[in-house]
Amino acid sequence: MVNQERLVAEFLELVQIDSLTFKERQMADALMGKMKEMGLEVYEDRAGEKYNGEAGNVIGRLKGNKEGPALLFLAHMDRVEPGTGIKPVVEEGVIRSEGKTILASDNCAGIVAILEALRVLKEKGDSHPDIEVAFTIAEEGGLFGAKALETGQLRAKTAYTFDSSGPVGSLVVRAPAQDGIKITVRGRASHAGVAPEEGINAIQAASRAIASLKVGRIDKETTSNIGVISGGKATNIVPDQVEIKGEVRSLVEKRVDEETKKMAQVFVKEAAVLGAQVDFRHERLYSSFHIGEEEEVSLRAVKALKKLGLKPERQALGGGSDANILNAGGIRCLNLGNGSRKVHTTDEEISVENLVKTAEFCHALMIT
Ligand SMILES: [Zn+2]
């Protein structure tokens, strides 16, 4: 079965390869090499050219030796900052960074699970359907690699990614849609001491709007946030411009539309009180999805978990992942828990036990 020593060694090897968003060259080369060695047909797509990144998505194909729908396994190659020069430490069965960086178990835990599962498959001579692998670029901050994935080149309509920090066995069956929002409030500059009457204070106008907005948890399914604000040049100038960035998320797609619209209305109305103008821009960064219990992608996951004696737990997630993009593009994709903890922080950790379980689960999916 899964070779724990080999799995942990590969995890430690991969987290030490620098691979920030759009800087995945070394990681892409390493993963292509590993898959070629295992006899997969491997290529790199054009996602890198599209975004001017260092590398494209890495795609691998293993021909099946039994009938059945093709399966796609995904993990992302990039990681958040501080994520360079990672020095992993293994202590009493738990892997952490030495404390100055993240660990990058998000998403190296997923990568090594897929690689190990492929190795076990070959060693045991298991029968399996056609298997496709996609190691994506730039998932963090925009799901860019998944968006550029040429799904027309893929055969699979069923996919799995191990990119949730829930326990192994948790299945993300619902995830929200998200709007990214950029607001510019424009006032008029003037000397704050000599002619304040001639100015329109953009900071005050923006503050009025933000103060009258409802942000945070809007309802059970919907959240919103104002996350970044910048503006003003000096204390003696009435500020003429403020830039604000925010977001709206909801498990219910049309609630995103409604809340974004509400935010725009509040800004326009409140800024107008002081005579300021508002430029409100929003973009649907990804769509929501909901995967039913009776869908093939769910049934296979539940069956594979049962074989391992693990309990399936259906969950909703507050964030987006490559699964949002695939589901919107017609490939049913479940995001699966890999048992990482405190991802995106310098306290990020994963137990060896969870690394092993995730790899076993991945292997079970391939042969179920
Ligand atoms: Zn991730």
Please tell me the distance between residue 214's alpha carbon and the centre of ligand 1 in angstroms: 29
Catalytic site includes residue 78? yes
Work out how many domains the chain is built from and give that number: 2
- Contact between 252 and 259 under an 8 Å Cβ cutoff? The reply is no
Q: Summarize the confidence of residues 224-237 as an average pLDDT.
A: 97
**Last residue of a domain, which of 265, 286, 307?**
286
Q: Summarize the confidence of residues 105-123 as an average pLDDT.
A: 98
**pLDDT surpassing 90 at residue 67:** yes
Q: What pLDDT, on a 0 to 100 scale, did the predictor assign at position 319?
A: 84
For residue range 261-274, list pLDDT tens digits in order. 999 999 999 999 99
Same domain, 281 and 313: no
Same domain, 43 and 154: yes
Q: Residue 249's pLDDT band (boundaries 50, 70, 90)?
A: very high
**pLDDT surpassing 90 at residue 317:** no
Same domain, 354 and 279: no
Q: What pLDDT, on a 0 to 100 scale, did the predictor assign at position 141?
A: 80
Q: What pLDDT, on a 0 to 100 scale, did the predictor assign at position 236?
A: 98
Please tell me the distance between residue 230's alpha carbon and the centre of ligand 1 in angstroms: 28
Task: Give the range of the structural domain holding residue 112, as residue numbers without chain letter.
Answer: 4-175+288-367
- Residues above pLDDT 90, as percent of the chain: 98
Same domain, 100 and 184: no
Please tell me the distance between residue 107's alpha carbon and the centre of ligand 1 in angstroms: 5
**Last residue of a domain, which of 266, 286, 306?**
286
- What CATH number does residue 342 fall under? 3.40.630.10
Looking at 10, 24, 45, 78, which residue is catalytic? 78
Please tell me the distance between residue 197's alpha carbon and the centre of ligand 1 in angstroms: 51
Same domain, 50 and 157: yes
Same domain, 116 and 19: yes
Distance of CA 114 to the CA centre of its chain: 17
For residue range 352-367, list pLDDT tens digits in order. 999 999 999 999 999 9
Q: What pLDDT, on a 0 to 100 scale, did the predictor assign at position 277?
A: 98
Same domain, 57 and 112: yes
Looking at 45, 106, 139, 240, which residue is catalytic? 139
For residue range 331-357, list pLDDT tens digits in order. 999 999 999 999 999 999 999 999 999
**pLDDT surpassing 90 at residue 281:** yes
Same domain, 181 and 171: no
